Amino acid sequence: MHSALPIPSAPSRHPFEGAAGILERVGNTPLVRLCHVAEGLPDDVEVWAKLESANPGGSVKDRPALAIVLDAIRTGRLKRGQRILDASSGNTGIAYAMIGANLGFELTLCLPKNANAERKQILSAYGVEVVETDPLEGSDGAIRKARELAVDTERYAYLDQYSNDNNWRAHYGSTGPEIVAQTGGGVTHFVASLGTSGTFMGTTRFLRQWSPAVKCYSVQPDSPFHGLEGLKHMETSIVPPIYDDTLADGNIEAPTEESFELVRDLARYDGILVGPSCGAACWAALQVARTLESGVVVTVFPDSGERYLSESHLWNAP
């Protein structure tokens, strides 16, 4: 590995240390090369994607949720008899539900009312107490409601994924090292979408430590009025405290319709069924790849398209 200065506040232990049973399966997700959607690129340019749907809870959020819960138990922030409390657009809530069920903790989740049917059905299967919030306020409304409930510290342990450093540390300790290992040290560019921003923050910090030459690009919607579920338009949203806007080499704004088109193309021509945020990440990764003569571009596909099958506007071309 390339030598570099250590990163302040780097985790002293593996973020999933102590996990057992199904929780041991979090991480080590496959990295696959994109073929048909990447046609036309120079021969020496490759685009690869981490398929986070292979996590046991079905999304990239298994990583931060597990790190957050394990740390909360170790430090006494989460005690027996308390309920896990947080806000989510869906995937982190499902991850908490799986983890809580395994470790014996119930979950109260603040969720925008317009979260799709599949997410609500999965949460119901896990027995989650869902507090629905104003759909027009998106994840920001869910955050505000969680903060209201959090005053009852006897009932709730508010884990706050948006400001919890274990969010990004999960990726520093797992996603980043996996990408380096899986590319044989060949990764030259990293691209990831922004929700809580933990995936981008943690993975980028690791890659920068490993090799300052790696270029890292964040992705967010190109408008506050977008259809990219789970992503934040930072200028018009509650900015997660863990987000550092100086870390990226560049920020790429992804359009909704073009991202949806790539979701359909990935399914129909590459055989990869993914959700809207994956389409945005793919769109941005291809934008980066088209500027290169050689390089290995790696992006993250946060979840599976199975969680969006009821959304006909995503699958049916206009």
Known catalytic residues are 61, 277
Of 249, 159, 223, 153, give the one whose Cα is nearest residue 196.
159
Q: What's the CA gap between 139 and 145, in Å, rounded?
A: 10
Q: What's the CA gap between 239 and 235, in Å, rounded?
A: 8
**3-state secondary structure (DSSP) of residue 260:** helix
CA–CA distance from 191 to each of 52, 194, 284 (Å)? 14, 10, 7
- Beta strands 31-33 and 45-51, pairing class: antiparallel
Q: What's the CA gap between 297 and 271, in Å, rounded?
A: 20
- The strand pairing partners of 215, in sequence order, are 189
Question: Under a CB-based contact definition with an 8 Å cutoff, are residues 88 and 126 in contact?
Answer: no
Question: Under a CB-based contact definition with an 8 Å cutoff, are residues 45 and 293 in contact?
Answer: yes
Beta strands in the chain (DSSP E): 31-33, 45-51, 83-87, 107-112, 129-133, 156-158, 189-193, 215-221, 250-254, 295-301
